[in-house]
Amino acid sequence: MRIGVISDTHDNLRNVRRIAELLRAASVERVVHTGDFTRPETLELLARAGVPLFGVFGNNDVARDALLEAAARCGATLAAAPLELHWAGRRIAVLHDPEAHPQLDPAGFDVVLHGHKHRQVIERAGGSLIFNPGECAGWLDGHNSVGVLDLARLEVEILRF
């Protein structure tokens, strides 16, 4: 199973439109957003990828009621972090800021997805993959990225735009 992983879209709707196109072209089966949608319109645009969307709130997601309403309209799953998912035989933790969840032990998961710092992270800790896809809200073309995670191989591909 291939899943798209994005974070910190921060109101950049131009980039969100591009992200939906990239993920659709990458044939992902699901999309995970690790927080800081900021606006409900972000969820609606991401729904254009045509696959189920899952996400957690970030520290800039202050309009939670509006985001939850948009998620309901789009059929998305949006929750407080950490969100635990079980897909393709893998246990996945989704959170925004890993420092806000010191009790979360990465060893208990196959994959830990996060955002917040706008820096790409691809690390192995024991048997766990820790992944932050990096910046996707910037205005400099070619410096933005999202990830595609292959759950069978626990490998990531970075899509730059």
Domain boundaries, the chain: 2-160
Q: What is the pLDDT of residues 92-112, one digit of tens each?
A: 999 999 999 999 999 999 999
C-alpha 123/C-alpha 116 separation (Å) is 16
- Torsion sign, CA atoms 1, 46, 135, 159: positive
- Beta-bridged to residue 14, according to DSSP, are none
pLDDT of 109 reads 98
Contacts with 102 (C-beta within 8 Å, 6 or more apart), sequence order: none
C-alpha 75/C-alpha 49 separation (Å) is 13
Q: What are phi and psi of 5, to 5 degrees?
A: -125, 125
**Percent of all residues in the chain with a pLDDT value above 70, rounded to a whole number:** 100
Q: What is the pLDDT of residues 8-46, one digit of tens each?
A: 999 999 999 999 999 999 999 999 999 999 999 999 999
Above 90 in pLDDT, residue 141? no
pLDDT of 12 reads 96
CA separation (Å) from 146 to 15, 31, 107, 112, 150?
Answer: 11, 11, 24, 15, 13
Above 90 in pLDDT, residue 72? yes
Calculate mean pLDDT across residues 74-81.
97
Which CATH number describes the domain made up of 2-160? 3.60.21.10
pLDDT of 134 reads 96
Calculate mean pLDDT across residues 117-129.
95
Lowest mean pLDDT among 31-35, 46-50, 87-91: 46-50
**Percent of all residues in the chain with a pLDDT value above 90, rounded to a whole number:** 96
Calculate mean pLDDT across residues 5-10.
97
C-alpha 130/C-alpha 127 separation (Å) is 10
C-alpha 39/C-alpha 137 separation (Å) is 13
